Amino acid sequence: MGMTLKNRVVLITGGKRIGQVVARELAARGADIAVSYRGSRDEAEATVAEVQSLGRRGAAITADVGRAADCQALVDEVVARLGRIDVLVNMASIYAAKDFAETTEQDWQRNIDINLRSVFLCAQSAAPHMRRQGGGRIVNFADWLARSGRPAYRGFVAYYTAKAGVIALTETLALELAHDQILVNAVAPGPILPPPDMSEDERAEVARATPVGRWGGEIEIARAVLALVESDFITGETIRVDGGRHVQ
């Protein structure tokens, strides 16, 4: 029987828009939810309010997960406030196009710190708590292009490299933590939610380029996270949720 979420504690890092739906779906199945935020306090508090409306405990905690001290403090506060940590969902991410010639060392490092290093740091902080409880789940966030080995779009050198690193980290953490019954997997989203500044024509173009003919919507990510959390035997996998983009 897979992990049940009733009375489990889940920490979700970042993930403003999609993260709110993930939090809601996990809370609806009985989990208490902590969300971290760096600059989006209102969104984090709205997520907590929705969790509480479902009768579950919620906590919004400020943290810059690109910093080691913040990752450790974040996990410690979750355990202090909610009593334990069973599931870590590493959603914190930055995404911005920048020409390779104009990419600074700081741009590169910020991508690595937030998109990759934070996954390592939060997992390292959470794993001892999961180990003491007899197991847990870690779900990381990669990208469908990195999972498919297809950079495809210019201007994303640092982002693509970091997300490819997430896939490798997911695999090696799965090996490291399997004997503790901590299963580690990743979700690789495709066209889920259009950026706010995307035009209607651009949205339609993406839908046409997707075999199923549409954007997925946040619920598809929540369903993938649920499947990975509830499994007792899937580990080291990166699951594309991309409407078939990778098969054409």
Rounded to the nearest angstrom, the gap between the alpha carbon of residue 187 and the centroid of all alpha carbons in its chain is 7
Q: 126: closest CA among 140, 112, 115, 114? A: 140
Catalytic residue (one of 37, 95, 153, 159): 159
- Distance between CA 20 and CA 16 in Å, rounded? 6
CA separation, residue 15 to residues 11, 131, 232, 233 (Å): 11, 25, 25, 26
Which domains does the chain show, CATH number per domain?
Answer: 9-247 (3.40.50.720)
Active-site residue flag, 159: yes
List per-residue pLDDT tens for the chain, 248 residues long: 678 999 999 999 987 889 999 999 999 999 999 999 998 899 999 999 999 999 999 999 999 999 999 999 999 999 999 999 999 999 999 999 999 999 999 999 999 999 999 999 999 999 999 999 999 999 999 999 999 999 999 999 999 999 999 999 999 999 999 999 999 999 999 999 998 889 999 999 999 999 999 999 999 999 999 999 999 999 999 999 999 999 98
pTM of the predicted model, to two decimals?
A: 0.97
